[in-house]
Amino acid sequence: MNISQQEWWEKLQEDSNAVILDVRTSDEWNRGIIPGAINLDIYKGQGFIYGLEEMDKSKNYYVYCAAGARSGQACNIMSQLGFSTTYNLVGGMNSWAGPVAMPEE
């Protein structure tokens, strides 16, 4: 489901079952992330699928990329794999006005 930044962030704040998923490349990831995110690069192809298959499908996934296209694609793949709840951040990090952190080394 594509949702606006404000709605995405508000839902995330109230969701005790949330996982924030960043599907960008490691170079993009290293420039700054939404706090608490985990990284799984969609460009890894089958590696991306394997990574998803190790995740808990009962969680609610808040997915983002740079502009919203890759994360939208990721949400589609996730629903095909049986993930029940995914939220795509419209506009991605390029439009993000919320908090940004540097990833832990």
Determine if the pTM surpasses 0.85: yes
pLDDT of residue 14: 97
Is 80 exceeded by the pLDDT of residue 96? yes
CA distance 8 to 1: 10
Task: Please name which of 89, 23, 100, 91 lies closest in space to residue 62, comparing C-alpha atoms.
Answer: 89
Bridge-based pairing of strands 38-39 and 2-3 is: unpaired
Structure confidence at residue 104 as a pLDDT band (50, 70, 90): confident
41-60 mean pLDDT: 97
User: Which tokens is 42 given?
Assistant: 């969609």
What's the whole-number mean pLDDT along residues 23-41?
Answer: 97
Per the prediction, the chain carries an average pLDDT of 97
Contact between residue 5 and residue 89 where contact means Cβ atoms under 8 Å apart: yes
Residue 39 has φ and ψ, to the nearest 5°, of -110, 130
| 6-29 mean pLDDT | 97
What's the confidence (pLDDT) of residue 105?
65
Q: How far apart are CA 25 and CA 41, in angstroms?
A: 5
Q: Name all domains of the chain by residue range, CATH numbers in brackets.
A: 2-95 (3.40.250.10)
Is 80 exceeded by the pLDDT of residue 73?
Answer: yes
Question: 18 or 105, which is more confident?
Answer: 18
Q: Give me the pLDDT at residue 51, please.
A: 98
Q: Please check the confidence at residue 65 and state whether its pLDDT lies above 90.
A: yes
